[in-house]
Amino acid sequence: MAKAKSAFVCTECGSEFSKWQGQCSGCREWNTLQEIRVGATVLPGAAPAAGAVAGGAARSASNGRGGYAGKLSDNVTDLSNVSLAEVPRFSSTFGEFDRVLGGGLVPGSAVLLGGHPGAGKSTLLLQTACKLAQHKRSLYVTGEESLSQVAMRAHRLQLPTQGLKMLAETSVETILATAEREKPEVLIIDSIQTMHLEDLSSAPGGVSQVRESAAALTRFAKRTNTVLLLVGHVTKDGSLAGPKVLEHMIDASLLLEGDGDSRFRTLRGQKNRFGAVNELGVFAMVELGLKEVKNPSAIFLSRSEEQSSGSLVMVVWEGTRPILIEVQALLDDSPLGNPRRVAVGLDGNRLSMLLAVLNKHGGLFTGDQDVFLNVVGGVKVLETSADLAVLCAVVSSLQNRPLPRELVVFGEVGLSGEIRPVPSGQERIVEAAKHGFTRAIVPKGNAPKNPPKGMTIVAVDKLSQALEAL
């Protein structure tokens, strides 16, 4: 394949140059030159060729940028005539993975799996690919490892290797040619940062290479109804050549989080066109790879036998299900003039606001205390239903008073000290009763008319009432 010629065009004045330079010699502006492919893009200020309108569709198809969402069509369809048939899905062989995806893999979709190095992205996709290859045509493209390294990992994880097609390649043109020949139903790219197009002169991993490579692969996936799974690394700030660059062109963006010394990994959906966002899937890293955790509340509730102060269980809503998570608070006399406020798993600004509400409407002063807050299990709580549980844990640590083990708390705290109801309150109470909790402090708006058997509901609408009920 002959390498296409490229030119550099100034975005301000339209001057064209054969090489890149920092300053445009035409308008004297800095950093305005952008690389384009000669013949694929009309230069700014240039008149279109004769017959450009008539042959626009043909040229778009020939230069590789046409038909992004499928085949080119000139027919206009009324919205009422569009078929409402369910998009056919198939399972990824992981129940937690399917949950985060919204019910399974959708043909023609592009899914980006991001995460820090060592989180387990390649392991998860290799397990998925080996199991899917038993009944689906799958192609696994690796640009980071050799085929022997991938085979050694599959052997160590005791995975079925029969039927999985492997390709060690970094050229997108070669990958697309191979995919056209093999016609896979599932195409896995590990990773998108190693892929490159011959037309672009920039190095692999750059923003332009990552964006163009992902666009070419996505066009192929939508045209052929292939499930495309991309692996994306994140940098320290999570922006350069990472998932943030690709979020606008893919269908689902998933983030696999977990420290290297932690056994558990959390898979959270950040963008999903086929399901709920902020859905949470939990995996455990074992000797044979990642194993799904069917009941995440059980691992987050592994508490010590001796009840200590500052520990409390709350019910948070993750995606489409409730999860019981333990929150811990520790208050200590501060030797500093400006006491510390440290929150792990919660918003630090939210913690400062809640402490101010506790002082104003609860009558408890914490201005001379260092406050440390931790959500057990490494889960990040993004909703406001944890407000009341956080304040109860802070009060428990401040007064050195252990709370009952069978107590569960949830509710949003307003700036005037009121306790506001939260969505899906009934389901949260049922989930707590299922795990053996017998007492719950909830907002008055979430109090059920018929509480579960054996569950005592304490409905409150002010912070002072909640503190009295502890």
Residues 374 and 433 in one domain: yes
What pLDDT sits at residue 80? 87
The predicted structure's pLDDT at residue 356: 95
- Decide if 312 is inside a domain: yes
pLDDT in tens, 257-290: 876 667 888 898 888 998 888 788 889 888 999 9
- Residues 172, 265, single domain; the answer is yes
Residues annotated in the binding site, as ranges? Answer: 115-122
32 with 174, same domain: the answer is no
Q: Domain end: 265, 294, 323, which one? A: 294
Shared-domain flag, residues 317 and 225: no
Q: The domain spanning residue 218 has which CATH number?
A: 3.40.50.300
pLDDT < 50: residue spans in the chain? 1-2, 39-62, 70, 238-241
Domain count, the chain: 3
What is the extent of the structural domain holding 153?
95-294
Degrees to nearest 5, angle at CA 353 with 352 and 354:
95
How far is Cα 263 from Cα 242, in angstroms, rounded to an integer?
Answer: 25
- Residues 438 and 383 grouped into a single domain: yes
Q: Is residue 76 part of a domain?
A: no
352 and 285 belong to one structural domain: no
**Token pair 């308008």 is at which residue?**
27
Contact 390, 346 (CB under 8 A): yes
Q: What is the pLDDT of residue 276?
A: 84
Classify residue 276: in a domain, yes or no: yes
> What pLDDT is attached to residue 62?
46
Residue in 119, 28, 72 with CA at minimum distance from that of residue 219:
72
CB atoms within 10 A of CB 178: 17
pLDDT for 354: 96
Residues 349 and 289 reside in one and the same domain: no
Q: Residue 420's domain is classified under what CATH number?
A: 3.30.230.10
Residue 57 lies in a domain: no
Q: Are residues 391 and 320 part of one domain?
A: yes
Note whether 315 and 432 are within 8 A (CB): yes
- pLDDT score at 71: 53
Residue 279 lies in a domain: yes
Shared-domain flag, residues 403 and 285? no
Could you tell me if 228 and 351 lie in one domain?
Answer: no
Give the residue numbers of the binding site for ATP. 115-122
Report pLDDT for 293: 87
Give the separation between CA 388 and CA 391, rounded to whole angstroms: 5
Asked, for residue 54, whether it belongs to a domain, the answer is no
Question: Same domain for 10 and 109?
Answer: no
Question: Looking at the structure, do residues 312 and 286 belong to the same domain, yes or no?
Answer: no
Is 52 a domain residue?
no
Q: Which residues contact 321 (CB under 8 A, 6 or more apart)?
A: none
